[in-house]
A = this chain, B = another copy of it.
Amino acid sequence: MAEISNRPPPRPLTLRDVSEASGVSEMTVSRVLRNRGDVSPTTREKVLAAAKRLGYVPNKIAGALASSRVNLVAVIIPSLSNMVFPEVLMGINAVLDETDLQPVVGVTQYSPEREEKVLYQMLSWRPSGVIIAGLEHTEPAMAMLRSAGCPVVQIMDVDGDPVDAMVGISHRRAGRKMAQAILEAGYTRIGFLGTKMPLDHRARKRFEGFTEVLAKAGLEIADREFYEGGSALTKGREMTAAMLDRTPDLDFLYYSNDMIGAGGLLYCLEKGIDVPGKVGLAGFNGVELIGGLPKRLATMDACRVEIGEEAARIIATRAEDGATGSGESVVLTPKLELGETLARNGQGPVDPV
């Protein structure tokens, strides 16, 4: 029996190895492996067999350099700990899976400096597209986005001007709509509970829209509470307790996200507080979890998965078309869901916004 070495070669295999093993030129091997150009079925088989037998994995680095085509899409998001962003990623994944594009995820922790670094790193791979959360960036980051040389889609927010394309919802409008619904239901002593995040522009815009409508009605936020870190559900509980203790005459609590809202809801139910009779509650995001709570929390869907899908679709389409389009703008409209925690005296708002 001839001696056959099965040890994996110490050096990664190259096209040349496949070429020699199949007795066909490197060029033809390359053509077979990429399904480009005409190759006779016989040759094709020979090459495929050799490649498989050797366990050849093409080197995309070299391929990308030679063709200046890279199938990577840079995705830059602030965080992974808030399910909102993994959900956006799911949308992106779902669409890119149909193409040969690969998402590469960078996380900024809501830090502009980290965002700048991550963006620089990603651009140095010359990706086929950039999907980045938000419209606000440092000046250097903006400069990089402008001269990225590939489609750039800014997501989640549409209150502002994009560098190129954008996909998202208007958080200012979301805040306004919620305020309107609350006022129409007859609530007037309203508390706000949210994150202590000066750099979360979207939360800020929602808050601004919210207070704007209150102001028009001659009202102000009656109390407010902010948190940082920790389990959102627990924080929601604690903040709610603190606030109702401090300002007992509040009749509505507006939470900047569903998780703290859920915590607040559980707290109120435990304390036997009549929701939404005595106190109404609302959150933001429309997370799936709400359906499993004892009462469905009022919320507004942030269209997370859809945003990811649309953004990916823009990149994918431009990649196919050879970068036809530009400046696409997809404005999604979050649905207001009253659930069972926003309806005073059994009467909900009439026709919000």
A residues lining the B interface (CB < 8 Å)? 8, 12, 55, 57-62, 64-65, 70, 80-81, 83, 86-87, 89-90, 93, 102-107, 120-121, 123-126, 143-144, 146-147, 149, 231-237, 262-263, 266, 270, 288-289, 291-294
Contact = CB atoms under 8 A, between A and B. Distances in A.
Contacts of A80: 86-87, 89-90, 93
A300 B105 CA distance: 30
Contact of A12 (B59, B149, B289): B149
Contacts of A57: 120, 123-124, 144
Given A57-B124, A93-B107, 15 more contacts: A8-B149, A12-B149, A58-B124, A59-B124, A59-B126, A61-B64, A80-B89, A83-B86, A102-B121, A105-B105, A233-B292, A234-B291, A234-B292, A263-B292, A266-B294
A306 to B, nearest CB: 15
A144 B270 CA distance: 54
Given A104-B102, A124-B59, A147-B55, A266 B289 contact: no
A104 B107 contact: no
A105 B72 CA distance: 11
Nearest to A120: B57
Chain A facing B: main interface SS: helix
A125 B294 contact: no
Contacts of A55: 143-144, 147
How many identical chains are in the complex? 2
6 contacts: A60-B125, A102-B106, A233-B291, A237-B292, A266-B294, A270-B294
A124 B60 contact: yes
A337 to B, nearest CB: 14
Contacts of A293: 233, 266
Contacts of A102: 104, 106, 121
Contact of A288 (B65, B126, B231, B270): B231
Given A57-B144, A86-B86, A292 B231 contact: yes
A257 to B, nearest CB: 13
A105 B102 CA distance: 9
A12 B125 CA distance: 12
A104 B60 CA distance: 15
B81 A126 contact: no
A13 to B, nearest CB: 9
Contact of A61 (B125, B231, B233): B125
Contacts of A103: 105
Nearest to A147: B8
Contacts of A61: 61, 64-65, 70, 125-126
Contacts of A62: 65
A236 B288 CA distance: 13
A149 B232 CA distance: 42
A61 B263 CA distance: 48
A104 B107 CA distance: 11
